[in-house]
Amino acid sequence: MNEDLVLGIDIGTSSVKTCIVRRSSEDVLSEFSSPSNATVKTEDSSGDEQSVEQIFSCIESCMNQLPEQLLTRVSCVAVCGQMHGCVLWQSDRITPVSTDHIKEATSNLITWQDGRCTEEFLRSLPCTTQPTKISTGYGCASLAWLHRNKLDLLNQFDTSGTIMDLLVCVLCGAGRPHMSTHNANSWGYFDLQAKQWELELLKKEGFPVEYLPKVVEAGTTVGHLAQSWYHVPKGTAVLAAMGDLQCSTLAVLPGPHDAVLNIGTSSQLAVVATEGSISIKDHPSLLQVPYFGGKNLIVAASLTGGNAVAQFVDQLEGWCSELGVPTPNKDSIYQHLFESAAKIHESSLCLDPLFWGERHFPSGRGSASNIHTNNGSLGDITHALCKGIIVNIKKMMPADIFHACKVDCIVGCGSALLRNELLQRYIREVFELKLQLRTSGISAAFGAALAAKSEHAKSQN
């Protein structure tokens, strides 16, 4: 009898991760990841889009690296990824388990980093009654922007979803998706209690509601592989795509008094709460999102994370180019920054690296203070950047939330955090709490595979 193996796939902002997990023991038997390199130029500099064709090519490349003898024993496929993004497609052009015509059948993916929905535009949208306020980069905001500014593009397609929903449709040979509550909530205009879109509110404003997917509980089986896919057998169950935030949190298996801080491109600080037990009404910097097992996550989701350090590295490259001096590769620059930082214990320089604002404060920008003649070295700036990232995320999570959840430890994960000892140090100093790093076998793809074994996995009729 075949082992009960689960294939987990995470379609992140900058990479794709895959893993095969034994359901009974939760052992990771094989895993592989690859950068997607999918970003494409947009007409507007504030836009942020990715090539769907390139993302699917990266998924296929990762699948090719997994052992055939394990893939043939997979009994369930669980997908997660970037929740807020929106991609359009023509439902009758989705070919089962084939990406040959994916470019012609789809738009680009508009990612969560898209900034074309200005504050003025967002104020013109219907006022939601839900805790999740609409923000630029959210699926419903992107659809509304397309409806007003790119109607010709919108009219080329008849449905929409996250990039993960599209993958699930391709695998199952379905034209239209069933979106999980994880992703629907992240799009905005979703009533989490009623488990449905705010359709009447949207219809009154002429919003293109016909593009919104049907919604099911996270963990629901929404279809089966239409054909064998990279040796995964035809008929294998496929779950509704889940959110990477929820799956990343589940992957670290937090204790009852743990907060989870994930720092990758951006940062997310989350605590698990029983549904309805904590109100975030007076905290605009917080989100309440559905989790697993009838619980919610209270989340400070910052746009600032490892991207702040990456932005500084890019700036250094630009300065070298302007000065006409040889430009080191990025790895060398990173190495030099942290070697310089190691020469000093701390810096008196203060940086608030709010380069992109925050969802609750989109017009916010970064600042520097306490600048003087002897604290402008690369080491000083590196210290100040790393501390600023942590100070910012702490400001977004009020102390009373930690107190209500009796948080006494932070569990740290995410590629940027695990590689950066300065970020680790400043978490301990700024929060004045223990930090436990989860360094192996932890990924959103692993969390998606874990979700497949929960009691919430059920068939969608």
So what's the pLDDT on residue 273? Answer: 85
Tokens of 448: 């998606």
Same domain as 135, residue 192: yes
- Residue 440, pLDDT > 50, answer yes
Same domain as 453, residue 432: no
Report the 10 Å Cβ neighbour count for 416. 21
Scanning 109-198, the segments in alpha helix (DSSP H) are 119-123, 139-149, 151-154, 163-172, 181-187
In 3-state terms, what secondary structure has residue 427?
Answer: helix
Q: Residue range 361-367: average pLDDT?
A: 90
Report the 10 Å Cβ neighbour count for 438. 19
Band (454; pLDDT cuts 50, 70, 90): low
Same domain as 166, residue 120: yes
Tokens of 431: 């929060």
Band (441; pLDDT cuts 50, 70, 90): low
Q: What is the pLDDT of residues 168-185, one digit of tens each?
A: 999 999 999 999 999 999
In 3-state terms, what secondary structure has residue 29?
Answer: strand
Same domain as 274, residue 190: no
Residue with the bigger pLDDT between 237 and 193: it is 237
Same domain as 336, residue 263: yes
Report the 10 Å Cβ neighbour count for 192. 17
Tokens of 433: 């709490």
Q: Which of 396, 400, 390 is nearest to 428 (CA)?
A: 390
Same domain as 315, residue 261: yes
Percent of the chain at pLDDT > 90 equals 79
Same domain as 420, residue 455: no
Same domain as 137, residue 91: yes
Same domain as 279, residue 214: no
Q: What is the pLDDT of residues 177-222, one digit of tens each?
A: 999 999 999 999 999 889 999 999 999 989 999 999 999 999 899 9
Band (456; pLDDT cuts 50, 70, 90): very low
So what's the pLDDT on residue 171? Answer: 97
- Residue 278, pLDDT > 90, answer no
So what's the pLDDT on residue 260? Answer: 95
Q: Which of 18, 38, 15 is nearest to 28 (CA)?
A: 18
Any idea what the CATH number is for the domain that residue 69 is in? 3.30.420.40
Q: Which of 451, 450, 407, 441 is nearest to 427 (CA)?
A: 407
Same domain as 62, residue 128: yes
Same domain as 228, residue 268: no
So what's the pLDDT on residue 101? Answer: 83
Same domain as 278, residue 221: no
Instruction: State pTM to two decimals.
Output: 0.84
Number of domains in the chain: 2
Report the 10 Å Cβ neighbour count for 35. 10
- Residue 455, pLDDT > 50, answer no
Report the 10 Å Cβ neighbour count for 166. 27
Domain that holds residue 422: 253-437
3-state per-residue secondary structure call for 292-357: CCCEEEEEEEECCCHHHHHHHHHHHHHHHHHHCCCCCCHHHHHHHHHHHHHCCCCCCCEEECCCCC
Q: Are 167 and 102 spatial neighbours (Cβ–Cβ below 8 Å)?
A: no
